[in-house]
Every structure is written in structure tokens, then in C-alpha cells.
Structure 1
């Protein structure tokens, strides 16, 4: 039998190895909180307490025991509480002013300067014998109209009634129509706008001498002050059967 067949017949068994197994290594556990692996994340762990055997604890009230919600572990709750007053039997005993009886906007702010205020008191009983007339007894003349003895008056005008004698109301056929009156220019009662006018068309001054146009000149024929380029011309076409000139 070949050697390769012997290798395939007998498989390798890991239990026959002499090395230590996985239980040989003492790694810290990852369960619980006692000796937990420091390199691994530990979740929170909770435990149940033991049952108490003490009689005082055994006779404690159950969950139906009512505890005042205002009592906390820090003491009594200090939140203010309000209640509604009962209806008064006698309304005459409760005559305190309401909120509308006060005017806080009329009170000057505290600590700010305020101008002095004065008021006029009532007439005392001893002044009743005074025969001087009060200020309401004097009647001053009006200052409207032209009849003022010692006051300057502005000129005043009055309009008389319309007379029907000689008026168009006697004969309505003589009444003026809409086109009888002329239109009032707006420059009379409004700001006058500027006016502009157009002048007649003007022409440039020129003489009557006839001058040649651009086509009347031949600058290519000028040979006086410019060098002349060589020019060539083509000869006359001759027939093919002409005998050439032999000298």
C-alpha cells in the first residue's frame, strides 16, 4: 500500500495531543460582578434581599396603605395651596374695594423726582361776607367780528342775497351755457411748468465750388514721389502653325 493511502486512512485526533485543554487556562469570568474581567464591559447587576423574619417588619401595612402625597423624603411639600372662601351670609360685612377701585398708573414711581402740585381749597366760612364778585361774574366782549372797541379786527365781508331783477333767472333761455366761460389756465392757480420751443433746421456753411469725388482720383498712377513696382503684360496669342521668327 502506498504511503499516501496510509495517511488518508488514519485521521489526526486532537485528543491525543499532549497539550493542555481549554479548562487549563484560568481566565476571569464575564458573568456576574465578582472577579469580572476588567477588559470586558460589565452590565448592571441587581440582587433580591432576604426575607425578614422580624415580627415588627412582618406586620407592616400592605400596598393599600395611603401615604399623603405632600409628604416627601425631604419633609412636607412647601408648595402654596389656595382655597375658595365660602359665600358670605351677610353682604354688608364684606365691603373691601375691588381691583377696579385702584389706579396704580396715577401713582408716581418711588424714588423719582416729581414736580410740586397745588390745589385750590374750598372757600372758608369767613369769606362768605366778601362781596367781591367772582371771576365768572365778568363778561368780556367777544373778539370775533368788526365791532370791537379796543381790539384790532381783520376785514370782514358779507354776501348779499341773489337778486332776480336783471338776472338770468327771469329768463332761463338767457342763462349762459358751459361754453360761455373760458377755461382757466392751470398756470394761474398752480406752479407754472417750464416751456421749451424748437428752432428751425440749420445747415453747415459751405462754398459752391464743385469738388471731385473719391472715384475721380487714381492713386495707383502716381509715380512722382513713390517707387513704381515692376509691371508685366501678356503677349498676343498666336496660332500653332505660325513659323517662329529666326534671326
Structure 2
């Protein structure tokens, strides 16, 4: 039911539902779209392609193969060719829509709509208010820390903590069980320094081969004519045959 004074040609009326402008701010309750999946994906983020896994297809049924078709005699390559056929049927049923007549209306009740009249008020029960303020209370927010290593808005200094003695062992206990210096073999100095010559005394070696070679006394140094000049040596040979062909040299 309307109430209030006229504002020009418009008169304020009671709102059908709660108006958000009449209440305080709802607080930070905005919905941010997600970046995973494909339903309601945020448009500012890149969406990767999505694939679905399907099961294997059922084996084909051999019984579903169509057999030979029955071709009617009235069908040709240009379509169906037959004489016109008529059937006898009943009269179709007409659906009559019953509309209200002039006596069904009450024009006398339209005065309050057509003509101006004073406002009328009625007394009724109090309506239940709509619950629109569903924002969290101030004590539900967590204020970020300003001390310690987990600060958000301020710079944190280095923090140190004192811990108790470890249960693994003392500081001099070898937890890794590594070998000591005595477990390694000392290398020879000849590996990483210059090595001096070594000599060894062995037995007399055997003569290689049984063939006797000539000694220095077997050579005659006075009969050497390869590196020194000597007198001509003449030898006596056989008489040559008279039928021997003499050496002929072509002289041009």
C-alpha cells in the first residue's frame, strides 16, 4: 500500500524488497573468479586446453547391418509417381476458448486507479526484516604481525633463537663414521716428485743365438782398398773365342 506525499507526478511507495542503499556497506565480500578449471574461469588469466578421458567404444554389433531394401514400384529416379489417393476422416474438433463477458468486469472498483484520492493506511503486523548483513565481525580479521620474522608490511630484523643440546651426540662425536687420516695409504714421493735413477745388480745374461761372430783379429786392415788408393791389380783369365761378337757402338 502506498504512503507519503506526492513528489510531482510520482508518489513514494513501500519497497517490495530490501534496498541495499538503506543499509551499511557489506564489507569485502566480493567474489574473485578462480583460475583453475573451465567453469567461471577468470578472463584475465590464461586457460590451458582441457581434455577428457572416455572409455573404449563397444564392439560393433553384426546384427545391426541393414539388409536389402524393398523398393516400391511407384518410386522412380525422379521421385514417387502414383495417382492421387483420398481418405475419409471425421470432422476435426474445434477448440472453443471461453472468454469472460462484459458482466464479468467491475468498472466501479476502478475509481481508485483512474481518479485521484487521498492516501489510505491500514494496520498490519510487523514484517520480519531480511537478513542482509552477513559480513564477518571485526574480531574475525587477523591483523598482520609487526614483530618477528613473519611480518608483512614492515621490515624485519634478523632473529636468533637459543636451542637446547642436540640428542644426536656431542660436538666431538663422529656421526658420519668417516675414516681417519690413518686409514689412508701414504703415497710414494716418486708419484708427485722427480724420481732419481735406480740401478739393480742381476746375473749374467745369456748369449742370444749359437752362431759365432768374427773377432777383431779376423780382419786384415792392410788389405783395405775401399777407402784408400791402391796399385792396379792384374789377373789372368781365359782366352776369348774368335766367334765372340765384338762391342759395336754407333757413332753419328
Q: With structure 1 as the length reference, what TM-score do the two structures score?
A: 0.16
Instruction: Flag the structure with higher helix content.
Output: 1
Higher relative contact order (CA 8 A, sep 6+): 2
